[in-house]
Each structure stands twice: as structure tokens, then as C-alpha cells.
Amino acid sequence: MADKASQGTGDWTSKAEKVHGLLRNLSFWDADAQALPVDAGFSVWCRYTEEVRKDNGTIYLVGNGASASMASHMAADLAKNARLHTQVFSDLSLITAVANDMGYEHVFSEPLSRRGGGADMLVAISSSGRSPNVLAATRTARRLSMTIVTLSAMDLETPLRSAGDLNAWLPCRTYGDAETCHATVLHHWMDLVEIPGAGRIPG
């Protein structure tokens, strides 16, 4: 039997260098399909976030599978460390009710249509950029005049990359690489908007 450690392809250094190269090729695009320098893109994202905080709005985060876990993770971090109102649609009863009665495409857009508003932000995460329920959420958010930030990968022409006011895209070709890079992008955003000392007990 082959040693389990030898069954993978490549070594750790090669993997790390690959991810580093992908992250260095992160690009941001605005609603007019104009490319932004990466740091300028994060600055715009931070400005949007500060506007949500100032207006006492809510940041909604949506995604499927690993992207759903990232949405939940960032919602918790933003609530605890940035003192922002956050919401994810992860309640199993709600998901199954909407999926059963209306179709899985509507599991985010239906509850968002009843809760979102102009002071809010939608962060839409999809590795492929083609998830019907994530795209439906962006259409609902647009109708509600919400600020929309998207994260996608794979094909440069993915529909999600043109669905937001700000769109982050990575040239990843596998879901694992896209998920790893999206997590890094989300954490960098979190680091930029956190409030020093928030989430810690004084003393």
C-alpha cells in the first residue's frame, strides 16, 4: 500500500507559492467594469462598510457550501470585532421551507427581499460566480438599492463579477484554491474594518 503522504501531488512550498501567486493577481472591478488597483478596491469596500456602520445598516453574506461557511464565519467576526450588524440565511428550517416551496434558487433572495434596505450591504460569495441563488440575491439587493460586493473566481466572464458595485475576482481554476483565496480576501477586509479592542472583555 502506498504511503498516504505520497499520494498527493506537489509539495507544500509549491502549493504555498501557487496560492501566493493567485492572491497577487486579485483584481477589483467597479459597476462600470472598470478595473481598480487592489488597495483602492479594499478602500472602497471599507468606505462602504463604514457607511453601513454609520447608518446602522446590516451586512448580509451569502454563499453555498464552503462559501456559506465563510459567510457565517465573517458574519461572526464582523459582529464581534467590528461591531456591525450582520445576517446570514443559514437557518435550516428557513432554507428547506423556501427550497421546498419556491425552489433552491430563492433561498437567499426571498428572505432578503423582506429584510434588506438601502442602508445595507450584500456580500455575495461564489467560487464559480454562477450560483443561481447567489445571483438571485444580487438582483434582489439591486432592487432594494443595497450596496453589493461580490467575490468570484474561475472564468473572467462569470456573471457575478459584473453584478456588484464592487467585484473581487481571482484567477483560480479549482474550488479549493478559490475558497482559500476568498477566505484570505475576506479576512483582510475584516482586519481593515475591525475596531481595536472590540470583542475583548475590558480589564
Q: What mean pLDDT value characterizes the chain?
A: 94
Q: Tell me what the mean pLDDT of segment 38-60 comes to.
A: 98
Model confidence at 10, pLDDT cuts 50, 70, 90, reads confident
- Range in 6-15, 65-74, 130-139, 152-161 with the lowest mean pLDDT: 6-15
Domain boundaries 27-193, CATH class: alpha beta
Outline where the chain has alpha helix (H): 12-24, 38-54, 66-81, 92-102, 109-115, 132-143, 175-193
Residue 28 in contact with residue 35, Cβ under 8 Å?
yes
pLDDT at 3 over 50: no
Question: Which tens digit of pLDDT belongs to each residue from 86-112?
Answer: 999 999 999 999 999 999 999 999 999
Cell (9 digits) for 160: 457575478
Identify the pLDDT of residue 197: 81
Is pLDDT of 2 > 70?
Answer: no
Question: Would the pLDDT of 203 be above 70?
Answer: no
Dump pLDDT digits (tens) for 117-161. 999 999 999 999 999 999 999 999 999 999 999 999 999 999 999
Q: At 117, which amino acid appears? A: G
Residue 34 identity (one-letter amino acid): Q
pTM, two decimals, is 0.93
- Cell 480576501 belongs to residue: 185
pLDDT tens readout for residues 158-199 = 999 999 999 999 999 999 999 999 999 999 999 999 998 886
Residue 201: φ, ψ to 5°: -75, 125
Predicted pLDDT of residue 9:
64
